[in-house]
Structure 1
């Protein structure tokens, strides 16, 4: 039987099951209450979606789906009993809850702390760790902090989700030889259904055991497996299927831009220009979007969080971008906004942010 380890106290799974914890902090109390329900065999849980592509909604997720997801991830990484894992994601959301479930299903020692930008800087954590899930922001902060970096190197398996990892981050992870994986999934599949190694040259997703994939007539991915309760779930993700268990992600159908008959995949383009955006504007949020245009139907624009710097020349910037993207994909305009809108899970809310412009 495993344990939950907090900064001041540790609890066995049996203690959590029997409600024997002293935490009064609201965050820890809700996390441990969820764990208590799980350990008592509760069969269904209401989970909120992130709202990154539309309005957030609450869905009912069955126990067998979450159990199947944890089992498949454990099999993929060959996680053994009594492993050590870190839960540093928001446990109000599915990603954090699934880390708790994995810990309980794997009989692991689970280090539990509040989600923050640099979780590995906590000096009470014990390393090495067998399995950790983080968002790109947390991984980048760990790389930037020499103390956290030494701990990052002691993580056997690291999965990164919540948002795509940029090329700069991927390059750093390769250089450091961190065994890291980008995740692909959604709330309806209770976390990821596929993983892509960031140590390889191409970002190719490989499905977890038991997952079946395919595409519709518009190249949008569908998935089916035990973590979807064996239901065939149609996604809005445009992919290129490589074989029965592997695919490349191109972007969200919601955001595909048709500019003069040329299809532009914003997420793919954002990845390509990340280095140049960093060079010109520093570490800031940005995204590509399609705005209505009388001649082209839609025009490609770049939206950047921040204030336009003195001396910024659009033409010079666009010339620099041509090294990385097709000229037909170049932004026709660049917009600067002081502050983006974000979802509850910390993702850029493109639909709400773009309303500040149109």
Structure 2
């Protein structure tokens, strides 16, 4: 089986070409598709691991899409998604959201969340309208693109928390447009409860999604796994394991990484979590983000939630930075809106919610949180910044 790299640049024209290639890949009449960020006219080459897998004939049967991970913990991996997995994901999403509908694409089409918007519309036989994001996401562009959706149909879109915040801050026509959707999937990073509350107060029907490229994107909606999806906690490590028909076939050209991450029970994520008796899932944060300070383990996500509960705090990223005495210390980058809460209020809030060991010893304010991918905090950049500012 062959794999074809398809260049996308954020334009509607590029997404139209991608949709045609995806359709051929799904019906078996064309090669599998690897969306790649590329300028118009460029002919992107296959990454070496993918080309090697194709040459060696180690591409899994039924492969339809290859998606590169963000590479946050090293070199990007190339996730092999079969047509069966993608169809199962689209059907489960359609069932959970209440039926087929037209979709608006506001995300880069080379990421799994963007590919899924195109595929959901394609598999449902509905329209996919594309917001031009060649120059980045603009709230005004969302309202204009929404106006091109067919009247009378259900409307869906998928965005990241940063985009949601920008629409809320902008208000006016973009906010009115987003409030007209039957569901607004928000993923790509943790959704701050305060941001969600603001959105729902404005009439936006938010659905918080959790998943990754290895699970065809979001497969847990508002803490509840989609039909057919399982979410369990691995004994000992506490890691979230996601199973079911949406799980990828592995990584192309990376057999050792595939064997480590994909088990008979499903995909071993890098996230810690806990499940409730009703099967709902709470994600506590990445296992490799846990801070060990003086022998005490601190979950950054819990500290971030505490900081975000303080009025006028609209962003927070918590990391561990090296320390000669403690091994690591807790450090926080905070974004505020309006009067700055005093440091003592922030630290006392964390102490009350998470305990003394979790209180940030380094606390710095900034205009924004450095990001990588689509809306994910760049923790390495934050750690470097806070280490320098210490």
1:247 to 268, 281, 284: 281
Q: Does 1:76 align with 2:96?
A: yes
- Report the Cα offset of residue 261 of structure 1: 3.5
What is the Cα deviation at residue 289 of structure 1? Answer: 0.9
Closer, same or farther in 2 for the Cα pair 1:26/1:323, shift >3 Å? Answer: closer
Of residues 133, 142, 162 in structure 2, which corresponds to 1:120?
142
Higher mean C-alpha displacement, 90-99 vs 33-42: 33-42
Matches within 5 A, 1:42-57: 42=30, 43-57=63-77
CA 1:96/1:355 → structure 2, altered by over 3 Å: closer, same or farther? same
Higher deviation after alignment, 113-122 or 319-328: 319-328
SS of structure 2 residue aligned to 1:228 = coil
The offset of 1:275, in angstroms, is 4.4
Structure 2: gaps spanning 5 or more residues: 1-7, 31-62, 250-261
Give the C-alpha shift of residue 130 in structure 1: 2.4
Identify the residue that residue 135 of structure 1 maps to in structure 2.
Answer: 160
Distance 1:247 1:312 in 2: 32
The CA distance in 1 between the partners of 2:374 and 2:199, in whole Å, is: 24
CA–CA separation in structure 1 for the residues paired with 2:233 and 2:352: 32
TM-score when normalising by structure 2: 0.72
Among candidates 211, 222, 244, match of residue 225 of structure 1: 244
Report if the CA contact (8 A) 1:222-1:233 is conserved.
yes
Deviations, residues 145-165 of structure 1 (Å, cap 9, x unaligned): 122222222111111011111
User: Relative to 1, partners in 2 of residues 1:175 and 1:312: Cα closer, same or farther, differing over 3 Å?
Assistant: closer
Q: Once the 2 structures are TM-superposed, how far is the Cα of residue 348 of structure 1 from its aligned partner? A: 2.2
How many Å apart are 1:106 and its aligned residue?
A: 1.1
Of the structure 1 ranges 34-43 and 118-127, higher mean CA displacement relative to structure 2 is found in 118-127
Query: Residue in 2 aligned with 1:199?
Result: none
Distance, in Å, in 2 between the alignment partners of 1:268 and 1:51 is 24
Number of paired residues? Answer: 319
Q: Displacement of 1:137 after TM fit?
A: 1.8
Instruction: Please name the residue that 2:384 is paired with.
Output: 355
Alignment of 1:330-341 (within 5 A): 330-335=359-364, 341=370
Is 2:284 aligned against 1:264? no
How many angstroms does 1:125 deviate by? 3.4
d(CA) in 1 for partners of 2:181, 2:126: 15
Residue deviations 1:295-348 (CA, integer Å, cap 9, x gap) = 433211113479xxxx99644653465465433311011246788653243422
Please say if 1:99 is aligned against 2:129. no
Question: What TM-score do the two structures reach when normalised by structure 1?
Answer: 0.78
Q: Work out whether residues 88 and 112 of structure 1, in 8 Å CA contact, stay in contact via their aligned partners in 2.
A: yes
- Summarize the Cα distance change of 1:316–1:98 in structure 2 as closer, same or farther, 3 Å threshold: closer
Quick one: distance in 1 between partners of 2:342 and 2:227?
A: 50
Partner of 1:188: 214
Give, in whole Å, the separation in 2 of the partners of 1:286 and 1:100: 32
SS in 1 for 2:119: helix
Choose which of 75, 87, 95 in structure 2 pairs with 1:67: 87
> Structure 2 residue aligned with 1:209, among 227, 232, 240?
227
Query: Residues 29, 77 of structure 1: CA spacing in aligned structure 2 closer, same or farther, 3 A cutoff?
Result: same
Contact 1:84 1:109 in 2 (8 A): yes
- Hey, what's the Cα distance between the residues in 2 that align with 1:207 and 1:187? 16
Helix, strand or coil at the partner of 1:72:
helix
- 1:44 Cα offset (Å): 2.4
Q: How does 1:159-198 map to 2 (within 5 A)?
A: 159-196=185-222
Tell whether the 8 Å contact from 1:52 to 1:348 is kept in structure 2 after alignment.
Answer: no
- Show structure 1 runs of 5+ residues with no match: 1-23, 197-204
CA gap of 1:326–1:174, structure 2 versus 1, over 3 A, is: farther
Whole-Å separation in 1 of the counterparts to 2:225 and 2:346: 39
Q: 2:183 aligns with which of 123, 137, 157?
A: 157
Contact 1:90–1:114 (Cα < 8 Å) also in 2: no
RMSD: 3.1
Q: Is the 8 A contact 1:160 1:183 kept in 2?
A: yes
Contact 1:303-1:335 at 8 Å conserved across structures: yes
Query: Cα deviations across residues 256-308 of structure 1 (Å, max 9, x unaligned)?
Result: 112233321112221221243x73xx65x5411112334433211113479xx
